[in-house]
Amino acid sequence: MKPLRDSIANAKVRHLHFDQTIKATVSQITFAVPGTVLALVGPTRVGKSTAIRAAAKQVYPRTKDGYIPYVIVDCSRTDAGFMSMRYLTLDLLGQLEHPFYGASSGKSRVSQTETNARLALRRAVKYRETKLIIVDEAHHLLRIKNSGGREAALESLKCLGNETGAVIVLVGSYELLKGCFCSAHFNGRLTLIEFPRYGTSDLQMKQFESILATFDQLLPWAKDNSLLSMSDLVYDGTLGSCGLVTSWVLAALGKMDASGATRLRKEHFRNVRYLQQIDAIASEINYGENVLRPVEKEGHGKDASSTSSTDERGVGRKFRRLKPGRRNPARDSISRPKVVP
């Protein structure tokens, strides 16, 4: 079963959203000025980590001795389940092969203060001529102990880009967006890139089904069973995310093997995916897709000076944003003159 597992896990499929995301990321990195922050966001398991690695290799295909053009570090929750900027800084120093802070230095990571590590990181980035700092699983930056920590963590990374001239790339789920908009100053440096799922239009579904057809050729199906024959079920269970197709196929193969069967059937898929799982993923996707709405073009019927709001019943209403010092026209109330005896 291991060769089958490896063939599924490493399957090469024609994934148009993957190719388009790499192209968009390469272009944004290429045109980014020093100190820019890029955020690559999308649904869970859509392929963001693989895409950012492929994009970085395209921008910086070759290296020379002592030169590290880009580094990639996972944003781990290392402080009693919370995110620690100190550990993130130390991990970056390790990736930059700093002689005093790397894994082979023999120094205790626990004893290093964040201030000293940050100063060392600034020098290491400049010494290694690092142009790109990639923080994967960046939505963990929102899990900071102290109040206001998420904004401080994001601002800290932005400042690192300013200090070193490196481009900062944050890679994470749509949850990351909950922290990205907390600061106007941060947004002034921010460019967003979305790695979307496959939608339900005819063209999108055709592309999604071509991915299913590729997996079908690798799987030991029982007669009259295939991913294509149950494409609606697969779409509902993966919400159009290619990475979730892979994980569901592997889970179904595990179920098949545990039951003693040698052929894959539809029931093997049904018994390893639960509605609660899909609801949680769908909720995050719904949030991200609603947030990522582009600026509307002129002439689309929306007054640029008006803003939408929603009342307690969820009914939308509009109000006009006035210039400072002005108010809506209204008739002043007439009062009776005071009679002086």
Q: Are residues 121 and 63 in the same domain?
A: yes
Q: 278 and 221 in one domain?
A: yes
Are 64 and 259 in contact by the 8 Å Cβ rule? The answer is no
DSSP assignment of 184-250 equals HHHHTTEEEEE-----SSHHHHHHHHHHHHHHHTTS-BPTT--TGGGHHHHHHHHTT-HHHHHHHHH
Do 212 and 186 belong to one domain? no
Question: Which tokens in the block code for residue 43?
Answer: 């649904």
Q: Which residues contact 239 (CB under 8 A, 6 or more apart)?
A: 43, 197, 278, 281, 282, 285
**Helices 149-164 and 114-127, interaxial angle, to 10°?**
30
Cα angle: 287, vertex 293, 295; to 5 degrees: 155
| Residue 339 within any structural domain of the chain | no
Same domain assignment for residues 123 and 185: yes
Residue 282 and residue 239 in contact, taking contact as beta carbons nearer than 8 Å = yes
Asked, for residue 325, whether it belongs to a domain, the answer is no
Q: Identify whether residues 152 and 203 lie together within a single domain.
A: no
CA distance 240 to 236: 8
Is residue 212 one of the residues assigned to a domain? yes
* 258 belongs to a structural domain: yes
234 and 183 part of one domain: no
Q: 219 with 156, same domain?
A: no
Determine, yes or no, domain membership for 28.
Answer: yes
147 and 237 fall within a common domain: no
Classified as helix, coil or strand, 330 is coil
Spell out, as residue ranges, where the chain has pLDDT lower than 70.
77-80, 102-111, 146-148, 296-341
Of 139, 174, 194, which marks where a domain is finished?
A: 194
Q: Which of 152, 176, 194 is the last residue of a domain?
A: 194
Do 123 and 260 belong together in one domain?
Answer: no
CA distance 204 to 326: 49
Residue 313 lies in a domain: no
Q: From residue 79, give the alpha-carbon distance in Å to each of 12, 76, 110, 126, 302.
A: 37, 9, 11, 28, 47
- The tens digit of pLDDT for each residue in 153-199 reads 888 899 999 999 999 999 999 999 988 887 777 888 899 999 999 99
Contact between 138 and 170 under an 8 Å Cβ cutoff? The reply is yes
183 and 235 share a domain?
Answer: no
State which of 194, 226, 254 marks the end of a domain. Answer: 194
User: Alpha helix locations (H) across the chain?
Assistant: 2-9, 16-31, 48-59, 85-95, 114-127, 149-164, 177-180, 184-187, 202-216, 231-238, 242-258, 266-270, 275-291
Q: Are strands 132-136 and 167-173 parallel, antiparallel or unpaired?
A: parallel
In this prediction, residue 65 carries a pLDDT of 82
Residue 270 lies in a domain: yes
Integer Cα distance of 86 and 80 in angstroms: 13
pLDDT at 313: 34
CA distances 230 to 27, 234, 236, 267, Å, are 37, 6, 10, 11
Q: Identify which of 208, 192, 85, 196 has the alpha carbon closest to the alpha carbon of residue 141.
A: 85
| Sole residue written with tokens 């007054």 | 303
Residue 120 belongs to domain spanning: 16-194
Is residue 26 located within the same domain as residue 159?
yes
Number of domains in the chain: 2
Amino acid 183: pLDDT: 74
User: Same domain for 95 and 224?
Assistant: no
